[in-house]
Structure 1
Amino acid sequence: MIRVKVPATSANIGPGFDALGIALNLHNSFSFEEIPEGLEIIGCDDRYKNKNNLVYISMLKTLDKIGYKVKGIKITMDTNIPVSRGLGSSAACILGGVMGANGLAGNPLSKDEILNIATEMEGHPDNIAPALYGGMVVSVMEMGKVYFDKVNVAKGIKFVALVPDFSISTKKARNVLPTAVPYDDAVYNVGRVSILISALSNGRFDLLEYAVEDRLHQSYRGKLIPYFKDIIHVSKRLGAYGTYLSGAGPTIVGIIDNDNSNYTMGIKDYFNSIGLDWDIKELKLDLTGAVIERIK
């Protein structure tokens, strides 16, 4: 039996649109076991217990690339990453399937090959790369290949995910974006993403308030989320260094000091006052990334 553990991810971090992502210590686990025939999937909603399961699809595509065949497969899932909330649930499923297939076949693929195969399935590497390598990762694609580097993040902060009780599909979140942006907005984001990486690397967390600002996607996607601007304002008042839309949303993430003991309770009180039943998760960076083990 092969077991794969994959962390949640938060992409963009404000201005790093489709290029930046972090891994967080919230995980999905997937176990793969060859059986004499058929398909058995345990631990997920009934609607996903079939051949359209993303983990299964990713596993089959990878096995086909490797040239390894199985008669039947049993997949057991333990999922903690909210689905369609901007925390990399699809990337976790894809990566889990790719790594599971590689494990069943005896690990013929390198980590970089896994990255490229999973990114091909996902369409972009901003969630896949940090999920695989852990920490904060900057990544780009060139001629179908992913180029990436890990970014050191100074100690002293944690990430509070404010997870709504509704989902937004990535397709819908993409459709609200303009087909072109003003030159000034592009220049604005270049500056912000540069200072974001510098501030996180050097521990200049006081700069994050400005560094997470963005003009390429957050103002458009924020309109899909009730109280988006108000939550950003309240988050700042409660001491967050910076607050941004995670991936395509609708999850919002506040970056706070490790010693900030007021933020989570304060944001919970605010949600109660306006009738929002959102989940609040205090998270740390996952510096390891996805791991695989063989269980006898």
Structure 2
Amino acid sequence: MTTLHVRVPATTANLGSGFDCVGMALDFHDELEMELLQSSHALAIEVEGQGAGTVPTDETHLVVSSLLRGLQEWGGERPGMRLRCHNRIPHSRGLGSSASAIVAGLAFAWGISRPGEALDRAELTRVSSFMEGHPDNAGAAVWGGAILGWFDGDDVDLVQLEVPAVIGTLVWVPQFEVGTAGARSVLPEVVPRRDAVAQAIAAAALPLALERRHDLLLAATADRLHQSYRADLMRPSFDLMTALREAGVPATISGAGPTVIAFGTAEQLTAGDAVASDGFERHALALGSGVELTVS
């Protein structure tokens, strides 16, 4: 009996100005294992931790449906499967749980379709990005660290940013959820030119700020395209982010929210200690590594 093991990180997207194109993996992971069974099409799913008792336990489970998509992409045959999920990544909190599930399922599919071959991360990035809708969370989950990614026709271009270890994150996770679809539905189709220009300036500075000019992080994480439009969906989160930024902390809404995240040096993040965050669970996290697949 073959067992495949996958470890996949939580991710954060946008980082303020990098809307739908900048993502970062966090040192906070889901662990999954899959036994390949002789009985064809057999399926059993066990979930512990986040999502236990609420996520489906049939072929619509996102890890399984992604695995089946990967088998179609890479010509693998469907085996019988017993999937065990040990979930730590909160769901519907803006920490990339959906992208991580998609990447995990595709990693399993690669292990089944291409036994003995190392993960083709470019191929995983391509398929997961189109499944997820954009490459920020998906690319970060595949590669780890911080990435800049965009679509180029049927391909995905991706640049890994060289973020030094001095950059850490603080994450404030609330108890309430916000669905990504709902958060996207409130975004306008057209924004004022002055906002578009300001966003372009901040987004252009963001990779530089992450890699070398950490003093630019507060300005480079400023956003005018999405966070303010979503404020009423997550008022406690928006107010916390605003208070942190007023204290000089480079804070943003993580992905579609409602988690709040800040990036910076220890000195930059320390200013957040004086900001009240009742109702949020705070974590200090380093950047995470990309998806890992092992076989036993």
What is the aligned counterpart of 1:207 among 210, 216, 221? 216
Identity of matched residues, %: 34
Instruction: Report how far residue 233 of structure 1 moved.
Output: 4.0
Note the alpha carbon deviations across 1:132-191, whole angstroms, 9 max, x for none.
111110000021210111111133221111111111111101001001112222111110
What corresponds to 2:277 in structure 1?
271
What is the aligned counterpart of 2:142 among 115, 128, 132? 132
**Cα gap change, 1:153/1:177 in structure 2, threshold over 3 Å: closer, same or farther?**
same
CA distance in 2, matches of 1:19, 1:148: 9
Answering whether residue 170 of structure 2 is matched by residue 163 of structure 1, we say no
What is the aligned counterpart of 2:182 among 172, 175, 179? 172
RMSD in angstroms over aligned alpha carbons? Answer: 2.0
What is the aligned counterpart of 1:113 among 123, 127, 131? 123
What is the aligned counterpart of 1:43 among 30, 42, 47? 47
Q: 1:218 corresponds to which letter in structure 2? A: Q
**Cα gap change, 1:192/1:68 in structure 2, threshold over 3 Å: closer, same or farther?**
same
CA distance in 2, matches of 1:200, 1:232: 19
CA distance in 2, matches of 1:201, 1:132: 20
Answering whether residue 194 of structure 2 is matched by residue 190 of structure 1, we say no
CA distance in 2, matches of 1:229, 1:74: 41
CA distance in 2, matches of 1:12, 1:30: 27
Ranges in structure 1 where 5+ consecutive residues have no aligned partner: none
What corresponds to 1:235 in structure 2?
244
Contact 1:34 1:70 survives alignment (8 Å): no
Contact 1:8 1:131 survives alignment (8 Å): yes
CA distance in 2, matches of 1:111, 1:271: 38
Contact 1:119 1:125 survives alignment (8 Å): yes
Task: Tell me how many residue pairs correspond in the alignment.
Answer: 286
Ranges in structure 2 where 5+ consecutive residues have no aligned partner: none
Contact 2:135 2:156 survives alignment (8 Å): yes
What corresponds to 1:80 in structure 2?
88
Q: 2:6 corresponds to which letter in structure 1? A: V
Answering whether residue 233 of structure 2 is matched by residue 220 of structure 1, we say no
For the residue of structure 1 that corresponds to 2:202, the secondary structure is helix
Length-normalised TM-score, structure 2 = 0.90
